[in-house]
Copies of this chain bind each other. A is one copy, B any other.
Amino acid sequence: MSKPVILVSNDDGITSRGIAVLVEIMASIGEVVVVAPNSPQSGMGHAITVGETLRLEKTDIFGEIPAYECSGTPADCVKMAKHFVLKDKWPDIVVSGINHGSNTSISVLYSGTMSAAIEGALEGMPAIGFSLCDYSSEADFSHVHDYIKKITLETLARGIPKGVALNVNIPPKRNQNIAGIKICRQANAKWQEEFDQRHDPNGRRYFWMAGNFVNYDKGEDNDEWAIANNYISVVPCQYDLTAYHSINHLNDSWQILD
Protein backbone atom coordinates (compact mmCIF):
# COMPACT_ATOMS: atom_id res chain seq x y z
CA MET A 1 0.00 0.00 0.00
CA SER A 2 1.32 3.45 -0.86
CA LYS A 3 1.94 5.92 1.95
CA PRO A 4 -1.04 8.06 2.92
CA VAL A 5 -0.96 11.73 1.95
CA ILE A 6 -1.44 13.89 5.05
CA LEU A 7 -2.35 17.57 5.04
CA VAL A 8 -1.18 19.35 8.21
CA SER A 9 -2.47 22.73 9.36
CA ASN A 10 -3.01 24.56 12.64
CA ASP A 11 -4.13 27.86 14.14
CA ASP A 12 -1.11 28.88 16.21
CA GLY A 13 0.85 29.60 13.04
CA ILE A 14 3.43 27.71 11.03
CA THR A 15 6.31 28.59 13.40
CA SER A 16 4.61 27.25 16.55
CA ARG A 17 6.10 24.31 18.45
CA GLY A 18 2.86 22.31 18.25
CA ILE A 19 2.80 22.05 14.48
CA ALA A 20 6.48 21.05 14.42
CA VAL A 21 5.67 18.11 16.72
CA LEU A 22 2.65 17.16 14.58
CA VAL A 23 4.67 17.30 11.35
CA GLU A 24 7.32 15.05 12.89
CA ILE A 25 4.73 12.48 13.97
CA MET A 26 2.94 12.56 10.61
CA ALA A 27 6.22 12.15 8.72
CA SER A 28 6.54 8.75 10.43
CA ILE A 29 3.16 7.73 8.94
CA GLY A 30 2.95 9.16 5.45
CA GLU A 31 3.70 11.80 2.88
CA VAL A 32 3.20 15.18 4.56
CA VAL A 33 2.17 18.53 3.09
CA VAL A 34 1.89 21.57 5.36
CA VAL A 35 -0.29 24.62 4.71
CA ALA A 36 -0.61 26.77 7.83
CA PRO A 37 -1.20 30.40 8.79
CA ASN A 38 1.78 32.76 8.74
CA SER A 39 0.62 34.25 12.06
CA PRO A 40 -1.31 33.05 15.11
CA GLN A 41 -5.06 32.63 14.48
CA SER A 42 -6.26 31.50 17.89
CA GLY A 43 -9.91 32.14 18.65
CA MET A 44 -10.70 32.56 14.95
CA GLY A 45 -13.51 30.02 15.02
CA HIS A 46 -14.55 29.03 11.52
CA ALA A 47 -13.55 32.41 10.07
CA ILE A 48 -12.73 32.72 6.38
CA THR A 49 -11.17 35.63 4.56
CA VAL A 50 -13.84 37.60 2.72
CA GLY A 51 -13.20 40.88 0.93
CA GLU A 52 -9.45 40.75 1.48
CA THR A 53 -6.66 39.24 -0.56
CA LEU A 54 -4.81 36.08 0.41
CA ARG A 55 -1.13 35.24 0.11
CA LEU A 56 0.44 31.79 -0.13
CA GLU A 57 4.23 31.37 0.02
CA LYS A 58 6.44 28.29 -0.03
CA THR A 59 8.73 27.92 2.97
CA ASP A 60 11.54 25.49 3.83
CA ILE A 61 10.78 25.60 7.55
CA PHE A 62 10.29 21.80 7.58
CA GLY A 63 13.27 20.97 5.36
CA GLU A 64 12.33 18.44 2.68
CA ILE A 65 8.66 18.43 3.63
CA PRO A 66 6.67 20.72 1.32
CA ALA A 67 5.27 23.58 3.37
CA TYR A 68 3.36 26.76 2.61
CA GLU A 69 2.47 29.69 4.79
CA CYS A 70 -0.83 31.40 4.16
CA SER A 71 -2.00 34.87 5.19
CA GLY A 72 -5.50 33.59 5.97
CA THR A 73 -7.32 31.63 8.63
CA PRO A 74 -7.06 27.86 9.28
CA ALA A 75 -10.18 27.29 7.16
CA ASP A 76 -8.59 29.36 4.36
CA CYS A 77 -5.45 27.21 4.61
CA VAL A 78 -7.37 24.00 3.90
CA LYS A 79 -9.22 25.65 1.02
CA MET A 80 -5.96 26.94 -0.48
CA ALA A 81 -4.20 23.62 0.06
CA LYS A 82 -6.90 21.92 -1.95
CA HIS A 83 -6.64 24.34 -4.85
CA PHE A 84 -3.00 25.29 -5.14
CA VAL A 85 -0.89 22.75 -3.31
CA LEU A 86 -2.46 19.29 -3.44
CA LYS A 87 -4.20 19.59 -6.80
CA ASP A 88 -4.44 16.01 -8.11
CA LYS A 89 -3.12 14.50 -4.89
CA TRP A 90 -6.12 14.81 -2.58
CA PRO A 91 -5.01 13.96 1.00
CA ASP A 92 -6.06 10.79 2.78
CA ILE A 93 -6.43 12.72 6.01
CA VAL A 94 -6.31 16.28 7.35
CA VAL A 95 -4.75 16.85 10.76
CA SER A 96 -4.64 20.16 12.60
CA GLY A 97 -2.64 21.27 15.63
CA ILE A 98 -1.14 20.48 17.97
CA ASN A 99 -2.97 23.38 19.58
CA HIS A 100 -1.25 25.07 22.51
CA GLY A 101 -4.18 24.88 24.90
CA SER A 102 -7.43 23.03 25.46
CA ASN A 103 -10.24 22.83 22.90
CA THR A 104 -12.61 20.82 25.06
CA SER A 105 -16.28 21.54 25.56
CA ILE A 106 -17.59 24.84 24.21
CA SER A 107 -14.09 25.97 23.18
CA VAL A 108 -14.60 23.93 20.02
CA LEU A 109 -16.80 26.79 18.74
CA TYR A 110 -13.94 29.29 18.97
CA SER A 111 -11.26 26.90 17.84
CA GLY A 112 -9.29 27.63 14.72
CA THR A 113 -7.65 24.22 15.13
CA MET A 114 -11.00 22.48 14.77
CA SER A 115 -12.12 24.76 11.93
CA ALA A 116 -9.28 23.40 9.77
CA ALA A 117 -10.42 19.86 10.63
CA ILE A 118 -14.08 20.65 9.95
CA GLU A 119 -13.13 22.20 6.62
CA GLY A 120 -11.48 18.87 5.78
CA ALA A 121 -14.59 16.97 6.86
CA LEU A 122 -16.70 19.22 4.62
CA GLU A 123 -14.61 17.98 1.73
CA GLY A 124 -15.35 14.40 2.73
CA MET A 125 -11.95 13.64 4.22
CA PRO A 126 -11.16 12.06 7.59
CA ALA A 127 -10.00 14.96 9.74
CA ILE A 128 -8.67 15.38 13.26
CA GLY A 129 -7.85 18.41 15.40
CA PHE A 130 -5.28 17.76 18.16
CA SER A 131 -4.91 19.98 21.23
CA LEU A 132 -2.66 19.76 24.25
CA CYS A 133 -4.39 21.06 27.37
CA ASP A 134 -1.41 23.18 28.36
CA TYR A 135 -1.28 26.87 27.43
CA SER A 136 2.39 27.34 28.32
CA SER A 137 4.72 28.20 25.46
CA GLU A 138 7.14 25.83 27.19
CA ALA A 139 4.56 23.01 27.22
CA ASP A 140 5.96 19.50 27.39
CA PHE A 141 4.87 17.53 24.28
CA SER A 142 6.91 14.41 25.11
CA HIS A 143 3.89 12.24 26.05
CA VAL A 144 1.77 12.93 22.95
CA HIS A 145 3.76 11.21 20.21
CA ASP A 146 2.59 7.60 20.51
CA TYR A 147 -1.04 8.54 21.13
CA ILE A 148 -1.32 10.91 18.19
CA LYS A 149 0.25 8.31 15.93
CA LYS A 150 -2.10 5.60 17.21
CA ILE A 151 -5.23 7.77 16.78
CA THR A 152 -4.20 8.86 13.28
CA LEU A 153 -3.46 5.29 12.15
CA GLU A 154 -6.77 4.06 13.62
CA THR A 155 -8.63 6.84 11.81
CA LEU A 156 -6.91 5.98 8.54
CA ALA A 157 -7.69 2.27 9.04
CA ARG A 158 -11.34 2.53 10.16
CA GLY A 159 -12.49 5.90 8.80
CA ILE A 160 -14.89 8.34 10.42
CA PRO A 161 -18.62 8.66 9.71
CA LYS A 162 -19.34 11.20 6.97
CA GLY A 163 -19.93 14.76 8.15
CA VAL A 164 -17.82 14.30 11.27
CA ALA A 165 -14.36 15.50 12.38
CA LEU A 166 -12.60 14.36 15.55
CA ASN A 167 -11.75 16.79 18.32
CA VAL A 168 -8.87 15.21 20.26
CA ASN A 169 -7.66 16.76 23.51
CA ILE A 170 -4.62 15.48 25.36
CA PRO A 171 -4.03 16.05 29.09
CA PRO A 172 -1.00 18.11 30.06
CA LYS A 173 2.12 16.16 31.01
CA ARG A 174 1.55 15.03 34.60
CA ASN A 175 3.36 12.70 36.95
CA GLN A 176 1.08 9.78 36.21
CA ASN A 177 0.83 8.28 32.72
CA ILE A 178 -2.07 8.86 30.32
CA ALA A 179 -4.91 6.56 31.46
CA GLY A 180 -6.10 5.80 27.91
CA ILE A 181 -8.27 7.10 25.06
CA LYS A 182 -12.01 7.76 25.51
CA ILE A 183 -14.75 8.61 23.00
CA CYS A 184 -16.64 11.48 24.63
CA ARG A 185 -19.37 14.04 24.17
CA GLN A 186 -18.74 17.80 24.42
CA ALA A 187 -19.05 18.84 28.09
CA ASN A 188 -21.74 21.32 29.09
CA ALA A 189 -19.52 24.17 30.24
CA LYS A 190 -18.84 27.76 29.29
CA TRP A 191 -16.42 30.63 29.57
CA GLN A 192 -17.32 33.19 32.19
CA GLU A 193 -15.61 36.22 30.72
CA GLU A 194 -13.95 38.88 32.71
CA PHE A 195 -12.70 42.08 31.16
CA ASP A 196 -9.70 43.95 32.45
CA GLN A 197 -10.45 47.62 31.82
CA ARG A 198 -7.49 50.00 31.37
CA HIS A 199 -6.79 53.45 29.94
CA ASP A 200 -4.38 54.22 27.13
CA PRO A 201 -1.88 57.13 27.31
CA ASN A 202 -4.58 59.38 25.80
CA GLY A 203 -7.04 58.52 28.54
CA ARG A 204 -9.31 56.39 26.32
CA ARG A 205 -10.41 53.14 27.87
CA TYR A 206 -9.65 49.74 26.37
CA PHE A 207 -10.20 46.16 27.47
CA TRP A 208 -8.46 42.83 27.67
CA MET A 209 -10.75 39.83 27.60
CA ALA A 210 -9.97 37.19 30.17
CA GLY A 211 -12.18 34.58 31.73
CA ASN A 212 -12.76 31.50 33.79
CA PHE A 213 -13.95 28.19 32.48
CA VAL A 214 -17.05 27.03 34.37
CA ASN A 215 -18.03 23.37 34.09
CA TYR A 216 -21.71 22.57 34.76
CA ASP A 217 -21.40 18.98 33.62
CA LYS A 218 -21.57 16.21 36.25
CA GLY A 219 -21.29 13.36 33.74
CA GLU A 220 -18.34 11.01 33.24
CA ASP A 221 -18.82 10.63 29.49
CA ASN A 222 -17.64 14.12 28.50
CA ASP A 223 -14.32 15.58 27.44
CA GLU A 224 -13.78 17.68 30.57
CA TRP A 225 -14.12 14.62 32.78
CA ALA A 226 -11.71 12.71 30.55
CA ILE A 227 -8.99 15.36 30.72
CA ALA A 228 -9.42 15.81 34.49
CA ASN A 229 -8.97 12.04 34.85
CA ASN A 230 -5.93 11.90 32.60
CA TYR A 231 -7.66 10.35 29.59
CA ILE A 232 -7.28 11.57 26.03
CA SER A 233 -10.74 12.71 24.86
CA VAL A 234 -12.01 12.09 21.34
CA VAL A 235 -15.25 13.95 20.51
CA PRO A 236 -16.85 13.33 17.11
CA CYS A 237 -18.02 16.78 15.95
CA GLN A 238 -20.55 17.49 13.23
CA TYR A 239 -21.01 20.56 11.08
CA ASP A 240 -24.75 20.04 10.71
CA LEU A 241 -25.81 22.36 13.54
CA THR A 242 -29.53 21.55 13.21
CA ALA A 243 -31.08 20.86 16.61
CA TYR A 244 -33.30 18.08 15.25
CA HIS A 245 -35.02 17.55 18.59
CA SER A 246 -36.28 21.14 18.39
CA ILE A 247 -37.94 20.87 14.98
CA ASN A 248 -41.04 19.02 16.26
CA HIS A 249 -41.16 21.22 19.32
CA LEU A 250 -41.27 24.38 17.20
CA ASN A 251 -43.72 22.89 14.70
CA ASP A 252 -46.04 21.98 17.58
CA SER A 253 -45.79 25.16 19.61
CA TRP A 254 -45.50 27.98 17.09
CA GLN A 255 -48.78 29.47 15.86
CA ILE A 256 -47.30 31.51 13.01
CA LEU A 257 -46.40 28.64 10.66
CA ASP A 258 -48.19 27.84 7.40
> In the complex the two chains form, what is the Cα distance from A101 to B35 in whole Å?
30
> In the complex the two chains form, is A180's CB within 8 Å of B49's CB?
no
Pick from A24-32, A59-67, A78-86 the stretch touching chain B. Answer: A78-86
> In the complex the two chains form, is B237's CB within 8 Å of A161's CB?
no
Interface size range on A against B: 35 or more
Number of chain copies forming the complex: 2
Interface set, chain A 35-57, CB cutoff 8 A to B: 40, 42-51, 53-56
Pick from A14-22, A87-95, A136-144, A201-209 the stretch touching chain B. Answer: A201-209
> In the complex the two chains form, is B183's CB within 8 Å of A250's CB?
yes
Inter-chain contacts of A75 with B (CB < 8 A): 45, 110
**A190 lies within 8 A of chain B by Cβ:** yes
Query: Nearest Cβ in chain B — how far from A238, in angstroms?
Result: 4
Q: Which residue of B lies closest to A44 (CB)?
A: B47
Inter-chain contacts of A55 with B (CB < 8 A): 204-207
Given the known inter-chain contacts A56-B207, A237-B243, please indicate yes or no for A40 contacting B45, CB distance below 8 A. no
Query: Nearest Cβ in chain B — how far from A254, in angstroms?
Result: 6
Query: Nearest Cβ in chain B — how far from A124, in angstroms?
Result: 9
Query: Nearest Cβ in chain B — how far from A40, in angstroms?
Result: 7
Inter-chain contacts of A251 with B (CB < 8 A): 183
Inter-chain contacts of A186 with B (CB < 8 A): 240-242
> In the complex the two chains form, is A179's CB within 8 Å of B258's CB?
yes
Interface set, chain A 118-161, CB cutoff 8 A to B: 118, 122, 150-151, 154, 158, 160-161
**Which of the residues B48, B163, B234 comes within 8 Å of A43, measured between beta carbons?**
B48
> In the complex the two chains form, what is the Cα distance from A256 to B194 in whole Å?
40
Inter-chain contacts of A206 with B (CB < 8 A): 53-55
Inter-chain contacts of A255 with B (CB < 8 A): 154
Q: Mark A94-130, 1 if CB is under 8 A from B, else 0.
A: 0000000000001011100001001000100000000
> In the complex the two chains form, is A195's CB within 8 Å of B80's CB?
yes
> In the complex the two chains form, is B195's CB within 8 Å of A83's CB?
yes
Question: Can you identify 18 A-B contacts, CB atoms within 8 angstroms?
Answer: A44-B45, A45-B47, A46-B46, A48-B110, A53-B206, A54-B206, A54-B207, A80-B195, A84-B195, A122-B190, A160-B246, A161-B249, A163-B243, A180-B258, A185-B247, A236-B247, A237-B243, A238-B246
